[in-house]
Every structure is written in structure tokens, then in C-alpha cells.
Amino acid sequence: MAAVDWAASRDVVAAKNIENPQKRIGILPAVASVLAFALASQAPGVRAADAVCDRFERAPTIDTARCLREFEVKAGGNAVERLHAVVDARIKAGDFERASDALTCARALAARGDWRDRYETVRRDGVLAYRRERVPEALEAFECALGIAERNGFRPGIAKQTKNIGAGLMRLGDFRGAQTALERSLAILRADRSPEIGSTLNNLGDLYREQGDHKTALRYYEEAIENYRRAGDEIEVAHTTETLSVMALDRGDTAEAVALLTRAMREFRHEGQRPYRLRAYAGLARAAMIDGDLDAARRWSAEGLAFAAEHGLAVPSTLQLEAARIERADDRAPAAIARLSAALDELPDTDPHRIALLEQRALALADVGANAEAIAALRAAKDAERRDAQARFDRQIAWQRSRLEAAERERKIATLEHESRQRRLWTGVIALIALALALGVGLYASRRNQRAREAAAARQARYEEALQRYRSEAEALRVDRRLLRALLATRGDAVCLLDAEGQVLAANGGACALLGADEAALIGVAFAERMTPDCRERWSQAMDNTEEGRPEALRIEIESGVALDARIAQWEQDAGVLILALREASSVSSEVASSSLVDAEERRDNVIDSGVSGDADDDSERDFDSDPNADAHRRYRRNLVELMLCVIEHWERGTGTNRIELAERSRIWRIGIDDGRLRARTMERYLALAKLPDNPRWRDVLRTAYYVLEHCPIDPAPREDLQRRIYEVQAYARRDALG
């Protein structure tokens, strides 16, 4: 069941457009505009929820067992829902008193239930008040229900109650507030893809139609019809179609109005919809009268009256009005007077068409010469119109008064709360004065500690920033594997590049074919793992010799059983990278093959070296006497040794371990066994200028320095000295690479 009988609202609008195309409310527009501005400044639902909802949510003191028996509802978990069904049935039947009694019983039970029971009860309070033309009271109930839905995140309830609030504000003439509420409801329904969006669209159409914006109203009505059709609600489609027909008649488009009414009449074929069919007959008769087709008007009027008589239906006031007009046109004014008098006797005072019937009766009386009675009837019509305007004005004033009273209550509550806060404040001030000295001392100590913590935090932040920089710079020193792959791809023979630990950095296609594995499986794995166990000792010895700067050749056997001749040597551009050349073992002896492999590969290594350096210099030794940069080079070598000694010193002092531990943890330097002792012989060569290789592994020295900076606690001054040494080595390395 819809929260508000929107059909009744459409009847009010239809009545104005049938007989009163111009506003005839006297002083109401001016007063309504003032009230609309005042109401628009307050969004619906802004009043304190407790103040609004207290009257609706407070449990009445009644005998719930007796009221359940009165409405023949069994006590139990769903007793409130069954009472709600009774309320809906009583409202639909127009028995508002019994509906109110059932709601009182439901309110007593809902106060002890969950929030959904309270929400549904308060919502029905609003519906009942709306049907009884108590719009301000209905708005209060709708706002209370909206507050319950918002507190519990019930989006369908929020959408429905903002729609109801918009409809109520529209009844009061607050078009701005109504538009705000209806657009909020529409936004929620669109976001949730709710099938109930049609009624909100229809209400927005009514709102814009009331304001004279028929183009916008038509757009909302058409969208409402589309949504009703998708939801399968053909009756609402027919109601909205009927409203569109009234708009068409208002603008004189009788052809479209007849088409719309004919379509609506086809939908009103069910037994429960027969009264709506009579309204369609009235609309068709009116369209015929506008066209001047009196015969068609008589036919439609007669069919409507016959249909009402056949099914025992009360003739609606709109059909009575059109029938009376036709009788006047046929010079049967007495029949029109009798019809209108009978219709007026049966109509309630609140019927929206009563004024039009009174005016038509006055015209009929004038037709028969009863001028005095015609004047009296016209005066009655004006009095009814005035009462209707006064009633609307009274509703607006009552709504505004309730708003002002609520605001005044909130102001008083706020004043009391403020006074209470002031009393508590002065009590607290007295206590604070007693604690002021103690707090001052504590504040001074806390401030001093805070400054110390801030300084420590700043140092820690700088330390973390330095660590991140060290990691980034150490990572930047790693050889670019993409460059290595590009260099190897140009070679037709089988070549691998290894790091100082013997792990594969890159391998070209020839090497992958000989080793029987793809490059992804080789990279990052120690090359010794590809050999048979008896070859690994010779491989380890060859690696140790290579670290001394000597190329080594040996014959190895891989796991697949294939024998390979291997040659391993340092890369001239970076001593930390080893070049491993492979080929299938020849039939000659191992010593001869190895010697031949060494000679061949020494010639081929120039390809990679020239690809990086761009130099054609075949000398591996520098002529320090003839080189104009000899002093700079000697200083660079001395700086490299001093940097390594400084790094070892900081490591041993900071960790309490030795250089072997540094080599093992950093995984930069190779560790071997010499006379039963672990030694990092390659690292030791960087601790004396006389032992330093001609092509030193300066990248590994810098990586070692960054590793120590990251993992050792070093004071700021020694840290800066170590960083300065790093920059000196880096500066020469960059100049050498560019020179």
C-alpha cells in the first residue's frame, strides 16, 4: 500500500484544471510565498528527532491484551504486523477512527519491539493524518519515520519518507521544500535502482504542473509511465495517462487527450478499477464539449452513467459536472439543476470539485430565470472557495507554528544545557586553579622531554632517509642485466655472465642450448649446480684463480652428462662480472683444449669489452708514467683502499665481528678455505695498495660501503667522513667512464 493516496492528490489538481484554470485564492499567494520562504530555509527533518518523535514513539498506557482481542489479533512475534494490516484495511475503507485505535494498540507493542516495528507504526501515523487532511501532523510523523530510517541506514525508508514529506509540503504550498525532498528521494531511488521510483517521478510531475512548468512536468510524467511499465503496474500507468489527458485538455489538444483517455480506459477494466473508468468517461465528454461535438459528449456521458448504474457505482462529481453541462447545452436546465443538487447533497465539504458544481448550478439557475437562487448558489461557491483557501492557509500556519514551537523547545533545551555546562565549567575552573602549579611543573618537564623526543625523531627520520638512499645507490651499482643480455645476444658462441659468487647474471642462446635449459631457469642460480659433483672442486679452484685476475680454462661435465670446455675470466669493464665461454668438448686432450680455448676466447672478449667501453685499446695495464691523469688514478686507487679499510673498521667496531662475517652477510665477496681457515682473499686484496688489482671491482667496494652504512650504528661525524670517501671514488669512476 502506498504511504499516501496520491490519487487523491491528483484529484485536487484535476479539479483546478477542469473548472479553475486561473488561481482564485485571494490573499493566499502572498502569504504562501512568505511561508514557503520560511519553510525552505529549513530542510525537512532538521528538527530534533527526540522532540518530534516523542509523541509518536512513546508507548500509550493501554491494555494490549484487550486491544488485541478487540481487533482479533493473536499475541505473538508478528502481532504488530497483523495490526498494521488492520490499520491499512481501515484506512482504505475510510474508517479513520478504527484505524487510529488499531494504531494506538500497535504503538504500544512496537515500543517494546525493534526499530522496524516503530518505523512502520510511525509511518502509518503519517498516512492516517494525511488522509484526514491533517497535513502538518502527517509531516511530523513522516519526519519521525525518516529519522528512524536514517539512524538505521534504511535507504528504502529514507526514500519513501522524503517522498511523503515532499508531497505534504506541496499540499502546504512550500514548493521549494517539496522539490528538495522529492529530488533527494529520487536520487536515492535511482542509485538503488528501486522499482518504486515511479511514484516519486509522478509527484515531481505534479509539483512542476502546480507551478505552471508543464514541459518539465510532462518529462517527469513520461518517465514515471516508463518505470510503472517496467514494474508491471498497469493501473498506475493508467492513472498517470489520465493526468496527461487533463494536461492535454488544458492546452486544447483534444485529439491527444482522447487517445490518452481511451488508452487509460482499456486499463481500467478490472472490477476494482471501475470507478476510475467513470473518470475517463468524464474526460472524454469534456474533450467532446471542447470540440463542440455535442453528440459525442452525450454518448460518452450516457455510457458513463449507464456503466455506473449497471455496476452499482457512485457517479463521480466530474461525470456529474459534465452531464450537467450537456443538459444545459440541450436546454434542459431543470434536469441539470436536479442533477447538481443531488450530487452536492452527497459530496463531502472537502471534495475538490464542490466549487465547480456550485458554480455550474448557479449558471443553470440563471438559465431558468431564478436569479436570486443563482446569486445564492454563486455566493455559496465563493464561500466554499474562501473556506478552501482558508483551510489551506490554516494548515500552512499550523505547520509553521509547529516548526516555531519545536525551535523554541530546542532553544530552551539548548539554554538549559548551556547553563549546566557553565556550572560544570566553574566547578572545573576551581579544580584547575588548584592543579595549576603542578601542571606547570609537569608541562615544563613534558616540554623538555617532547623536545628531546622530537630531536630523536628527526634524527631517526634523517637516518631512515639515509638508509633508503644507501639502498637506492647500492642497487644502482648493480650491473644492468638488460645491457648484458643485449651484449650477449650479438655473439654466436655460447657465453654466460656470472657475478663474483658464481651465480648466472645472463646467458645467450648458445649457452642455453649447451646447458639444456632456458635463460629464466639459469639466472640467479649458481653455475656450479649445473655440474656433476666431481667437477665442482675444480670449478671452485678456477673461480679463486679468476679472482686473482687470471683467466682459467677447464673441462666440466654438466648433469646431463655432456662434457664442455669452459673458459672463465674477469670482464675488463667490471671486475665483479665474470665471462664464462662454453663449447662442446673436443677429442683433444683436456690441457690442449683448454689452452686453445683460452687463446680463442681472449680474442673474442674484445667484442663485449668494446661494446661497453668503446675503446680499441688492447692494453690491460695503464702506463702511469705517460698518462697525464696518472696522479688522479693513483689517488683513486689509494682512496679505494682507504675506503675499504674504513669500511672494515666501522664494521668490526659496530658489530663486533670480523671481515669474514661481512663478506658472508653482504654476499658481495667470495669466501674460500685456505689451510682449513675461511678467508675472503679477494676482499683482502683491496686492503693493501700493493695487492690492489689493476682493474679493481670498485662497484663492489661501494656496495660494501653502503651495506655497512645501512647495517652498522655509526656516529654522524664518521658517517659523513665515510660518505665523503664514497663520493670521491664515485667521482673518479664517473670521470673514467666518460673519458
Model pLDDT for residues 235-249, shown as the tens digit of each residue: 888 888 888 888 888
Please say whether the dihedral angle defined by the alpha carbons of residues 80, 83, 89 and 92, taken in this order, is positive or negative.
negative
500 and 609: one domain?
yes
pLDDT of residue 473: 63
586 and 551: one domain?
yes
Question: Minimum mean pLDDT among 149-158, 232-241, 296-305, 620-629: which range?
Answer: 620-629
Instruction: Give dist(CA 174, CA 36) in Å, integer.
Output: 4
605 and 645: one domain?
no
565 and 665: one domain?
no
Q: Decide which of 364 and 466 is more confident.
A: 364
pLDDT of residue 14: 37
Cell of 499: 657475478
Question: For residue 200, what pLDDT band results from cuts at 50, 70 and 90?
Answer: very high
Q: Among 585, 613, 641, which residue terminates a domain?
A: 613
Residue whose cell numbers read 654438466 = 558
The pLDDT of 502-516, averaged and rounded, is: 86
509 and 609: one domain?
yes
Q: Is residue 718 part of a domain?
A: yes
pLDDT of residue 161: 92
Q: Dump pLDDT digits (tens) for 538-552.
A: 888 888 777 766 788
The pLDDT of 417-424, averaged and rounded, is: 87
pLDDT at 259 over 80: yes
pLDDT at 188 over 90: yes
Edge-to-edge strands, sheet with 504-507: 504-507, 494-499, 574-584, 563-571, 552-557
DSSP H or E stretch at residue 679: strand 677-679
pLDDT at 592 over 70: no
The pLDDT of 515-525, averaged and rounded, is: 85
Q: Is residue 527 part of a domain?
A: yes
Number of domains in the chain: 2
The pLDDT of 334-339, averaged and rounded, is: 87
Instruction: Give dist(CA 268, CA 319) in Å, integer.
Output: 16
Question: For residue 186, what pLDDT band results from cuts at 50, 70 and 90?
Answer: very high
**Cβ distance 337 to 361 under 8 Å?**
yes
DSSP conformation letters of 101-162: HHHHHHHHHHTTS-HHHHHHHHHHHHHHHHHTT-HHHHHHHHHHHHHHHHHTT-HHHHHHHH
Q: Decide which of 566 and 669 is more confident.
A: 566
Q: Is residue 535 part of a domain?
A: yes
pLDDT of residue 22: 36
Determine the angle formed by the axes of helices 175-192 and 197-210, rounding to 10 degrees.
160
pLDDT of residue 253: 86
Q: Is residue 586 part of a domain?
A: yes
Instruction: Give dist(CA 284, CA 265) in Å, integer.
Output: 10
Cell of 693: 688489482
pLDDT of residue 498: 86
Domain enclosing residue 649, as ranges: 631-738
Question: Minimum mean pLDDT among 11-25, 159-173, 414-428, 476-490: which range?
Answer: 11-25
pLDDT at 163 over 90: yes
8-state DSSP, 526 = B
Q: Among 584, 613, 642, which residue terminates a domain?
A: 613
Please say whether the dihedral angle defined by the alpha carbons of residues 35, 36, 42 and 44, taken in this order, is positive or negative.
positive
Mean pLDDT of the chain: 78
Q: Is residue 487 part of a domain?
A: yes
Question: Minimum mean pLDDT among 54-58, 193-197, 531-535, 655-659: which range?
Answer: 54-58
**Cβ distance 671 to 660 under 8 Å?**
yes
641 and 605: one domain?
no
pTM greater than 0.85 (yes/no): no
Q: How many CB atoms lie within 10 A of CB 131?
A: 17
Question: Minimum mean pLDDT among 199-203, 704-708, 732-736: which range?
Answer: 732-736
552 and 653: one domain?
no
Question: For residue 615, what pLDDT band results from cuts at 50, 70 and 90?
Answer: very low
Q: Dump pLDDT digits (tens) for 264-280.
A: 877 776 656 777 888 88
Q: Is residue 561 part of a domain?
A: yes
Instruction: Give dist(CA 624, CA 631) in Å, integer.
Output: 8
The pLDDT of 451-477, averaged and rounded, is: 70
Instruction: Give dist(CA 387, CA 357) in Å, integer.
Output: 16
Instruction: Give dist(CA 629, CA 739) in Å, integer.
Output: 11
644 and 599: one domain?
no
| Three-state SS letters, 285-328 | HHHHHHHCCHHHHHHHHHHHHHHHHHHCCCCCHHHHHHHHHHHH
493 and 590: one domain?
yes
Q: Taking the C-alpha atoms of 382, 386, 387 and 393 in order, what is their torsion angle to the nearest 10 degrees?
A: 160
Q: What is the CATH number of the domain that holds 545?
A: 3.30.450.20
Residues 6+ apart with CB under 8 A from 723: 709
Q: Is residue 347 part of a domain?
A: no
The pLDDT of 291-308, averaged and rounded, is: 88
Instruction: Give dist(CA 295, CA 249) in Å, integer.
Output: 18
**Cβ distance 616 to 709 under 8 Å?**
no
pLDDT at 535 over 70: yes
8-state DSSP, 41 = T
Residue whose cell numbers read 683513486 = 636
Q: How many CB atoms lie within 10 A of CB 475?
A: 10
Instruction: Give dist(CA 609, CA 620) in Å, integer.
Output: 11
Q: Dump pLDDT digits (tens) for 596-612.
A: 444 444 544 444 444 43
Question: For residue 689, what pLDDT band results from cuts at 50, 70 and 90?
Answer: confident
Question: Minimum mean pLDDT among 64-68, 545-549, 561-565, 728-732: which range?
Answer: 545-549
pLDDT of residue 481: 58
Instruction: Give dist(CA 497, CA 488) in Å, integer.
Output: 9
594 and 548: one domain?
yes
pLDDT of residue 670: 75
Instruction: Give dist(CA 259, CA 242) in Å, integer.
Output: 10
Q: Is 85 exposed, middle or buried (0-12, 13-18, 19+ CB in 10 A)?
A: middle
Greatest mean pLDDT among 266-275, 281-290, 447-456: 281-290
Question: Minimum mean pLDDT among 89-98, 574-583, 613-622: which range?
Answer: 613-622
635 and 587: one domain?
no
592 and 499: one domain?
yes
Percent of the chain at pLDDT exceeding 90: 9
The pLDDT of 430-457, averaged and rounded, is: 86
Q: Are strands 504-507 and 677-679 parallel, antiparallel or unpaired?
A: unpaired
Q: Is residue 720 part of a domain?
A: yes
pLDDT of residue 34: 38
pLDDT of residue 35: 39
**Cβ distance 362 to 374 under 8 Å?**
yes
Which three-class secondary structure state does DSSP give residue 512? helix
Q: Dump pLDDT digits (tens) for 456-467.
A: 777 667 667 766
